[in-house]
């Protein structure tokens, strides 16, 4: 995210004014943009198809229009795009904090997890290899309460385990 867009990554007020959020990000206010922002805020961690379904409850809109709006509001820092391994892209309204995600290996449910090290500790890798780090992503994997507790004698095996720093 650019410095200019970072100014939009602030806490969203309890009573959301999507038109004001769009204007604050220097985006033109349109019905599809307002509807997509509302859908993301009402359905955190939703995939594109779910967002399209939510928007179409109130508005006739094409798939491409929703994809275009998601790209615009993500680029503007109004929503965050996440894509856990083996998952489609998902969108969330929380762009103002340093949080991570936990994903259920069985059903794919996603929940927010606060950073255990503080607000910016994850942005300081042991060796940055000369990169100018501006974002870090941590994803925890396990089974959600609905999917049950794994058998300690037979834990789920993660074949493509990776650590992202």
Domain count, the chain: 2
Which CATH number characterizes residue 137's domain? 3.30.1490
Tell me the pLDDT band of 39, cut-offs 50, 70 and 90: very high
Examine the domain organization and report whether 78 and 115 are in the same domain. no
Tell me the pLDDT band of 115, cut-offs 50, 70 and 90: confident
**Contact status, residue 122 vs residue 116, Cβ threshold 8 Å:** no
Q: Is residue 90 part of a domain?
A: no
Q: Is residue 127 part of a domain?
A: yes
Give the C-alpha separation, 116 to 39, whole Å.
29
Range of the structural domain that residue 57 is part of: 3-82
Examine the domain organization and report whether 130 and 74 are in the same domain. no
Q: Which 3 state secondary structure label does DSSP give 38?
A: helix
Q: Is residue 148 part of a domain?
A: yes
Give the C-alpha separation, 147 to 106, whole Å.
7
Which CATH number characterizes residue 59's domain? 1.10.10.10
Examine the domain organization and report whether 65 and 8 are in the same domain. yes
pTM above 0.85, yes or no: no
C-alpha distances in angstroms, 138 versus 95, 111, 121? 15, 12, 12
Examine the domain organization and report whether 70 and 33 are in the same domain. yes
Task: Give Cβ neighbours of residue 16 (< 8 Å, ≥ 6 apart).
Answer: 37, 38, 41
* Average pLDDT rounded to a whole number, residues 121-137: 78
Task: Give Cβ neighbours of residue 33 (< 8 Å, ≥ 6 apart).
Answer: 18, 22, 27, 69, 72, 73
Q: Is residue 69 part of a domain?
A: yes
Q: Is residue 118 part of a domain?
A: yes
pLDDT in tens, 82-113: 998 888 999 999 887 778 889 998 888 999 88
- Domain end among 29, 49, 82: 82
| Residue 73 in this model has a pLDDT that exceeds 90 | yes
pLDDT in tens, 53-66: 999 999 999 999 99
């Amino acid at each position: 995210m650019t410095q200019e867009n970072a100014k939009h990554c602030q806490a969203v007020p309890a009573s959301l004014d999507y038109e004001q959020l769009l204007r604050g990000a220097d985006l033109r206010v349109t019905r599809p943009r307002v509807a997509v922002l509302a859908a993301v805020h009402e359905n955190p961690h939703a995939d594109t198809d779910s967002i399209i379904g939510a928007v179409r409850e109130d508005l006739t809109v094409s798939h491409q229009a929703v994809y275009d709006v998601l790209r615009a509001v993500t680029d503007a820092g109004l929503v965050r795009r996440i894509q856990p391994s083996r998952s489609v892209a998902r969108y969330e309204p929380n762009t103002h904090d340093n949080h991570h995600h936990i994903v259920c290996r069985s059903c794919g449910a996603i929940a927010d997890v606060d950073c255990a090290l503080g607000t910016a500790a994850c942005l300081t890798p042991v060796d940055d290899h000369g990169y100018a780090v501006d974002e870090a992503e941590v994803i925890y994997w396990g089974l959600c309460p609905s999917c049950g507790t794994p058998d300690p004698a037979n834990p789920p095996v993660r074949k493509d385990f990776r650590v992202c720093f």
